[in-house]
């Protein structure tokens, strides 16, 4: 990025335009939305790919900052090819370095620049578990007047099976899931097998790590779902869920 285009000036320009901005040579250019793109938190940047001549991108986001007590404010995130990502807060004179990854907020800038994003440590099986637990809650609430759910009704809801399965078998199937995030991304980019809530074109634009975090970003917390289910299900059914979700080695230790 040219010296005349500081991260601060680039971020403030993004805030003034309320859209994505690219630093190109010695001028700043606004990035228009790609044709046919749908609305999403990162506006016109999703789907855009800049050439090597673009050194950095900046884009505005709504955020709640720790040092403020009031409601959300507008900040700009600046992602560069050569330095750490920055946050531009209009009320601060100096930009703030992003010490921890901000997930999709930084991933989008990296993908615009054609850069790889870090791998996501959360396995795909955790996301499938969330779909399962969330589905159990929906069924349990609908069935509240018809009597409690049993394990047979609960187990068939997991995405990895379409029939009743013992808790230990479901756990083994989860732990041995052969597909990684890249396989799920490739499937989601195929319009014939879309990922729930994911545009196939966006899945193709993301890479493995950014796709994983995009999928995870809006999901409910897994542990919170389990806690909610303890109030809805019979203890014997919850015992089966606990066994199915136990991490490697944990269920064996419980029996020692």
CB 236, CB 152: distance < 8 Å: no
**According to the 3-state scheme, what is the secondary structure of the chain?**
CCCCCCHHHHHHHHHHHCCCEEEECCEEEECCCCCCCCCCCCHHHCCCCCCCCEEEEEEEEEECCCCCCCCCEEEEEEEECCCCCEEECCCCCCCEECCCCCCHHHHHHHHHCCCCCCCCCCCHHHHHHHHHHHHHHHHHHHCHHHCCCCHHHHHCCCCCCCCCCCHHHHHHHHHCCCCCHHHHHHHHCCCCCCCCCCCHHHHHHCCHHHHHHHHHHCCCCHHHHHHHHHCCCCHHHHHHHHHHHCCCCHHHHHCC
% of the chain at pLDDT higher than 90: 28
Cα(128)–Cα(74) distance, integer angstroms: 34
- What is the rounded CA–CA span in Å between residue 57 and residue 125? 33
151-191 tens-digit pLDDT: 999 999 998 888 899 999 999 988 888 778 988 898 888 87
Mean pLDDT of the chain: 81
**Chain segment 216-249, per-residue pLDDT in tens:** 887 889 999 999 999 999 999 999 999 999 987 6
* pLDDT score at 129: 93
Please tell me the distance from the alpha carbon of residue 117 to that of residue 105, in angstroms, as a whole number.
11
> How far is the C-alpha of 225 from the C-alpha of 133, rounded, in Å?
6
| Highest mean pLDDT, choosing among 103-107, 110-114, 138-142, 158-162 | 110-114
14 exposure class (CB count in 10 Å sphere: 0-12, 13-18, 19+): buried
Which residues, in sequence order, are bridge partners of residue 27? 24
Q: How much of the chain exceeds pLDDT 70, in percent?
A: 77
Q: Contact at 8 Å (CB) between 45 and 113?
A: no
pLDDT band at 15 (very low <50, low <70, confident <90, very high): confident
Specify the pLDDT at position 26. 60
Instruction: Please give the distance of CA 46 from its chain centroid, rounded to a whole number.
Output: 14
- Residues 94 and 29: beta-carbon distance below 8 Å: no
Which range is least confidently modeled, 17-26, 116-125, 176-185?
17-26
For 235, phi then psi, to 5°, come to -55, -35
pLDDT tens profile 71-84 = 567 788 899 988 88
pLDDT at 132 exceeding the cut of 70: yes
Domains of the chain by residue range = 7-112, 124-254
């Amino acid at each position: 990025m040219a010296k005349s285009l500081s991260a601060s000036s680039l971020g403030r320009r993004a805030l003034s335009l309320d859209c994505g901005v690219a630093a190109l040579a010695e001028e700043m250019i606004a990035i228009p939305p790609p044709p046919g793109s749908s609305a999403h938190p990162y506006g016109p940047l999703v789907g855009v790919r800049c050439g090597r001549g673009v050194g950095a991108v900046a884009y505005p986001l709504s955020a709640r900052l720790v040092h403020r007590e009031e409601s959300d404010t507008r900040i700009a995130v600046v992602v560069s090819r050569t330095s750490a990502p920055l946050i531009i807060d209009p009320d601060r004179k100096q930009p703030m370095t992003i010490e921890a990854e901000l997930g999709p907020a930084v991933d989008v800038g990296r993908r615009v620049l054609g850069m790889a994003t870090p791998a996501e440590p959360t396995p795909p099986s955790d996301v499938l578990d969330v779909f399962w637990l969330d589905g159990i809650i929906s069924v349990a609430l609908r069935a509240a007047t018809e009597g409690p759910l049993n394990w047979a009704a609960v187990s068939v809801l997991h995405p990895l099976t379409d029939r009743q399965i013992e808790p230990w078998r479901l756990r083994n199937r989860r732990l041995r899931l052969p597909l990684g995030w890249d396989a799920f991304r490739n499937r989601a980019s195929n319009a014939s097998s879309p990922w729930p809530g994911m545009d196939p074109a966006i899945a193709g634009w993301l890479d493995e790590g950014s796709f994983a975090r995009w999928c995870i970003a809006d999901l409910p917390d897994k542990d919170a779902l389990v806690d909610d289910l303890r109030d809805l299900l019979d203890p014997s059914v919850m015992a089966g869920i606990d066994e199915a979700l136990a991490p490697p080695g944990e269920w064996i230790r419980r029996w020692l």
